[in-house]
Structure 1
């Protein structure tokens, strides 16, 4: 993977769409992903996955041998990455401004990513407090300036 930055919403450093992702023109602004609700406005860095046969019984990105090795890399270990079957490697730490999901019902849906709470219960963690951090401080999870 080339030098990519972490997504500020879901914390993925993956820049390749899954092989079964619906076709979308990544150069055209204003389109919304039917899978996670992201817009193409700030996703021009994404690439289409090379064509590979997809085993319909697979668990999506978790079955990809390349992604399994990515989460073992030092940067992924620092960010506490796991492989999400939809978006690939992503941090298990929620963004600092993410609302609490502690009292949300299992069927509740994240308004930003369309992820269901039940699917992510006990898999995601709250972000360490960055309250009072000075301008230019570095995020303890993503390693980027706050």
Structure 2
């Protein structure tokens, strides 16, 4: 399971009620999260679940257990009802969300500030880290 470099999600499965989309056709953009098919050829559609009305990823028993895995806990993952499992840690170079209003929307992920208040934390600065330093939690290099 790969980690998205933008939102940190490890989920690559679209929800059962996701509209049909040909992921092999580049240039399409999701109106909800702003993702483009150019960068998302790795997605799969979840099998249909008759009678399911919820769009919440938390309804999935497989996702519930995935979030409880030690590695997920170590990465401070949570379940987002839109994108599935996602990191709650903003990258070190993320703009200060305290300077934004609750109605402001992220131009990259389309997330609203008010909706994510108290659900995300800013990653500590890595300015003092060595050039080849590696994060002890995610294993990603600096």
- C-alpha separation in 1, matches of 2:74 and 2:26: 32
Partner of 2:107: 111
Select the residue among 75, 80, 87 that pairs with 1:79. 75
Query: Which structure is higher in strand share?
Result: 2
CA shift digits 1:116-146 (9 cap, x unpaired): 1111000000012222433443234532233
Moved beyond 6 Å, runs of 4+: none
Q: TM-score w.r.t. structure 2 length?
A: 0.89
Residues matched between the structures, number: 142
- C-alpha separation in 2, matches of 1:46 and 1:35: 16
The offset of 1:92, in angstroms, is: 0.4
The offset of 1:54, in angstroms, is: 5.0
Partner of 1:25: 22
Q: TM-score w.r.t. structure 1 length?
A: 0.87
Q: Flag structure 2 segments of 5+ consecutive residues without an equivalent.
A: none
Q: Flag structure 1 segments of 5+ consecutive residues without an equivalent.
A: none
Select the residue among 130, 134, 138 that pairs with 2:126. 130
- Root mean square deviation, CA, Å: 1.7
Select the residue among 3, 6, 10 that pairs with 2:7. 10
Q: Where does 1:18-97 land on structure 2 (aligned, <5 Å)?
A: 18-56=15-53, 58=54, 60-97=56-93
